[in-house]
Structure 1
Amino acid sequence: MTETGHAVAQLRALAGELEAHVRRNQSTDQLAYAQLLVDGERHPWTLAAQRTWEKGGGAWRDHHRAISYHARAYDLEQQGKAAEAHKHWLGALRCWARLADSDDFWERMRAHLAEAMGAEPPGELVESVRARLPRDLLEPNLTRAVELRASQPEQARMHMTAVRESGLSPEAVAKVRREFAEEITKEAVRDAQAGRYDAGVSAIEASLTADPTNPRLVEVLLYVVRQTVPAVSAEKGWAHLSGFLDRIERLVQPYIEETGSGTQSAAAPEIVRELARFEFFRGVQRRALMMDTQENPATAVGHAGAAVTHLKRALAHDPDLTDDGAFHEAQLLLTQQSIYAAYFTQLTHRGDTAVRAFLSPALRALGTRPNPEEGQPELAPLVIAHMSAPHRSEVRRGQAVAAHLLNHPDTPQQKRGMLSETRSLLSLREGTLR
């Protein structure tokens, strides 16, 4: 038995003396203690005693309720009544949380031990128990969650919910959640490094069902993604990753909803960076689907807009993403993709306002001297030329871009004819604005 186990056992051994003390001073407690007797045998809990302590009691009331709820939770768990047991696990932990934070309770406990033992408690007994009690109290729920996560993930989820909502110290809760993730994340990393990507994700998925916002699980899941995507996209193409990335997005969404996104995110910095990389991959994947469906603008426009959204999220999560070698083109891709989105939005007759939602930020980022070999910058002046009511500033920006591309030596010959026609059309449009 651990030092804490001995300490807890010692405290429990004094429960009888504490009972006698309370009986002498509190009528409510006296009644509840009497209600613990069934056929002459004392039980750790009875429904009658529990109800009595829920209505009132003396200074030790939360202590009695905590023990009663815990005992009842164990009984219900053994009977297979997980949902009902959950309420009592949570009730017990919340009572203990109030006690753990109560200096008065621990002073009473120290005084009672001194009275019962005829001397001050040895060493730092009470302080040691108090410091380690939150973690020890969460041990049964952690153990059950680990046992159940593969076979009965919803029951495992109840135990991890009790951990998260216990009210016990954030440090103790975080430690238990990390322990819950420890073995599974090691397994997932081994699978990913061996190229068993689906196995790595599946290992984490069951645990995320039990603890959907577990930071360590999310971090390692995104690491597995970062190992998977480059290898699979190179071998099978981006379209092959659609189902995989959809699955990951569903798994990380609860964490994003809990912590927020962008620069205001409460997520740990290392997870924010991984989320940025994941959103970048999503953007590139939707861009690939857009390219595959460009002959069908009604389909392509959805992929085009989604790619913009994901790339924006990537840069919102981590504005320094472009400093990361593998992701240095994030801002450039966002600009290019915004032009594509404006182009397909126009082809599907959604109006100038919808077109500008993509085009305006793209024009600001594009400037007037784009590289003709980076994407299709010639689409920007083409879109402006075909707007129903372009602004004068837009027309002039389109003219400047078209002129620059026509004069650039690296502009492919097959694009020059279209650029000349676009510049002429823009000149006509400018004339109508005078």
Structure 2
Amino acid sequence: MKTPAIPHDSWLRKPAHLAWLADEGMRLLPFARAARVDQGFAALDASGRLPEHARAELIHTARMTHCFALAQIQGIPGHAELVDHGIAALQGALCDAEFGGWFADARCRGDKSAYLHAFVALAASSAAVAGRPAAPALLAEAIAILETHFWREEEGALRESLSRDWQREEAYRGANSNMHATETFLALADATGDEVWLLRALRIAERLIHGHATANGQVVVEHFDWQWQALPDYNEANRADPFRPYGSTPGHSFEWARLLLHLEAALQHAGLAVPEWLLDDACGLFARASCDAWNADGKPGLVYTLDWASRPVVRARLHWVHAEAIAAAATLLRRTGESIYEDWYRCFWEFSASYFIDLQNGSWHHELDSDNQPASSIWPGKPDLYHAYQAVLLPRLPLAPSLATALAAV
């Protein structure tokens, strides 16, 4: 696999742009530190404050721990203790000591989802790369839970969710949880040195992307029954669900495009067979998502969801969609050297800098309405560091190894 050179005039070659990315990362981190609570990390409001009765949640605790570990790996002081705080929460208040696995929040109840457990494993792997003393034990536990309860060898993918005691399974399969498992598996391969995680990531991608998305015109199919039959009408009555919306989600096409290229590079680095379709499908996913979602309602920005005729359904612009579009454009530019990806990379950053980045109150607005004004119908407040922070890191790094290991090698 020969990677063409990035164009000489690319922003990825500009010292000022790379410094701007680093500065934006340094601006994001202090805002996120305020999410700390006794039992982990909680959601912040739009001003960066903890709401009354804020509680630790697994999604924020795992993602914050991962991001603070990335900061620690870079040598940014003040984050080691925050990583340790996150690990302690994942080994304490949020951990199910009776049945194993993790609760969604500090109320210690509810089912256990593959989506959230993938983030626990990602956090543990990043903390281990950061050299935090308690991380290896957490990583071993997270891997054991994934392998024992979620990974289905006969399916080549993860089950979606199970009851607290692991006895009852949801009759559903989801692309979102398996997409984040793919990201986590790439990190696990680097953190453990075990190539089985690359092969599992490839099986997930082959099923969901080279199988279903390719057959659907390079549009990611999100929802399935337990036998992997597509459910195109899933959540039609709850179209703006933040995790399982109706229709297609262009942001996930961008995210998958990036992950396919990370997987391609990781397989090559490991000396394993590299399917040609990884690059082809990455290009196809990006082309379809950018064509269908950008300016879909006549105004700039990427809409949240589309129906199966590529018409806008939820017209809100979400920050994570644009962060993933940025990262995907940078990844494709680095892989192909083609100017179209430079154009999109600049376009997505110009839009995000103009509308999402909040220089007055900090962090990024998480949601804009169809007029590109701050909104909160889907994502109230500013609880998420993960997507924006990775968007300022990934363009500066090679396609492999995975994020934490790549930062450690710089």
Please, what TM-score do these two structures have when normalized by structure 2?
Answer: 0.27
Report the structure number with the largest CA radius of gyration. Answer: 1
